[in-house]
Amino acid sequence: MTQSSFADLGVSGPLERALRAENYTHPTPIQDQAIPRLLAGRDLLGIAQTGTGKTAAFALPILQHLFAGRPGNNGNAERNDDGNGKRGGKHRRRAVPRALIMAPTRELALQIGESFRSYGRHLPLRHTVILGGVSQHSQVRALSGGVDILVATPGRLLDLKEQGHVRLGQMSHLVLDEGDLMLDMGFLRDVRKIIAALPTKRQTMLFSATMPTDVSCLAGEILSDPVRVEVSPRIITVEKVDQRVFFVDMGKKRALLSHLLRDAGMSRVIVFTRTKRGASRLAIQLEKAGFPTESIHGDKAQSARQSALARFRKGGARVLVATDVAARGIDISGVTHVVNYELPNIPESYVHRVGRTARAGAEGIALSFCDTSERPFLRGIERVTKQPITVVENHPHQNAAATGGQDLSQPRPSSTRKAPVGRSAPKRRAASGPSRPKQRRSASGGSAPKRQGWSGERIASGGTSHGGTAPGTADGTTRGGAGARRRRRIRRRASAV
């Protein structure tokens, strides 16, 4: 948060009231930087990921512009609808969409729609969400009733456009959200076709967590003299998260998870698996073991995904097992722990996962289960995040490689072995032996006296096989070979996730 207020940024009264109801006391850094420029009509390139408050950063200026440009607006911002976005009586008009927000995943689109609903609650503007995986019937009906703001995934939007159900010719605002994921998921062609149908005179905003070459090319095509606003997602999200790693054999991970879940402090937990099948299987096993669990992944019907999320949000399920793509962008408050049941081979996925438990400044705990074969992934993660991950020792399922051959899964009388993981539990600092009391042991093997002391070069020279940080880039994934390799890896995994 910053010390300015939303009013200082130029946000109008009705929006401010809605923000107060959301308990947003101060703008986040991305809001602070983006809102005044967007209100002034500039195009914007935002390097930020979900969790930074970027939705409000683009939604508030759009709502304010659309309301100001609304026919018949006399400056009185009160809404005259029934609270559900439906206007009635003599004020009813058939709105034509003037703002389009495109998001790569259905969950993210729904979440953005939800944000427009809450921020725009005192304004007489309508929005609707267009997404695939469900019948188009209600979406077509909403469109024909008239909407001001469209939030959409590209595939279904293009489909409805080609069927003649949606008019794009009056759009004055365009947002492309999660640009890097959008392109990774193969939406570039659809996105280009949609943009070609929009007026060239418009305000355009592109948000992306990273800036690989294809995203910066797209930015060059669609943005006109943009301001560039960057908040470093890794620093914001990962630094606030208490990160710990358990060395454990693959076959013992489920037992370790059940063991940890006995701690009631793990009250709202997202568990990440690498595959869709793995997510389903683990959810069933946890449910059978007595832990109310839901799962979301790409093989589930949209309605099943939504009801799983709703149950988890309401606390009916304590655990949500998810794959990366399904969970990207999901905003669920109060997640106490993220568990990386399998470590992702792409460090950025780790950052996204871990960010689920430290939304907009809140703190959280991320626990990673690392099999011997996953150690290189751990090294890659530490190199990108530039932070050591604390090793939890003496847990009952510690793998032999981490204990010098001793099998700690065999019952032993000592209670001190039990690794605490709850919020109140003291952080365990592994390998900080008596002679080096203030040092942390890096999970990937190095010794890291201080966070600042962690340079990419130092670790890279330690012989890791993971590609080093590309010169001149922030994260080594944004240019040339490393970016291409990352996208190839994602494409290979796309059918599994």
Q: Which residues bind ligand AMP (CB under 6 A)?
A: 24, 27-28, 31, 50-56, 331, 333, 359-360
Cβ proximity to ligand AMP: between 24 and 291 the closer is 24
Residue 149 in 3-state DSSP?
Answer: strand
In the complex, minimum distance from the CB of residue 259 to ligand AMP, in angstroms, rounded to a whole number: 31
Question: Which of residues 207 and 247 has its CB atom nearest to ligand AMP in the complex?
Answer: 207
CA distance 27 to 57: 9
Residue closer to ligand AMP (CB basis): 358 or 381: 358
Burial of 457 (0-12, 13-18, 19+ CB in 10 A): exposed
| Minimum separation from the CB atom of position 59 to ligand AMP (A) | 8
| Cβ proximity to ligand AMP, 52 vs 273, nearer residue | 52
CB of 350 to ligand AMP, least distance (A): 18
Cβ atoms 328, 178 nearer than 8 A: yes
Shortest Cβ distance from residue 356 to ligand AMP (Å)? 10
Q: Which is nearer to ligand AMP, 56 or 346 (CB)?
A: 56
**CA distances (Å), 316 to each of 20, 281, 310, 319, 356, in order?**
28, 19, 9, 9, 19
Separation CA 329–CA 317 (nearest Å): 20
Distance, CA of 48 to CA of 50 (rounded, Å): 7
Nearer CB in complex with ligand AMP: 148/331: 331
For ligand AMP, give the closer residue by CB, 352 or 440. 352
CB of 98 to ligand AMP, least distance (A): 21
CB of 57 to ligand AMP, least distance (A): 7
Token couple for 36: 């005044």
Residues whose CB falls within 8 Å of the CB of residue 336, separated by 6 or more in sequence, listed in order = 265, 266, 267, 268, 269, 357, 364, 365, 423
Closest CA to 212 of 188, 241, 247: 188
DSSP class of residue 249?
-
What's the closest the beta carbon of residue 25 comes to ligand AMP, in angstroms? 7
C-alpha of 315 from chain center: 20
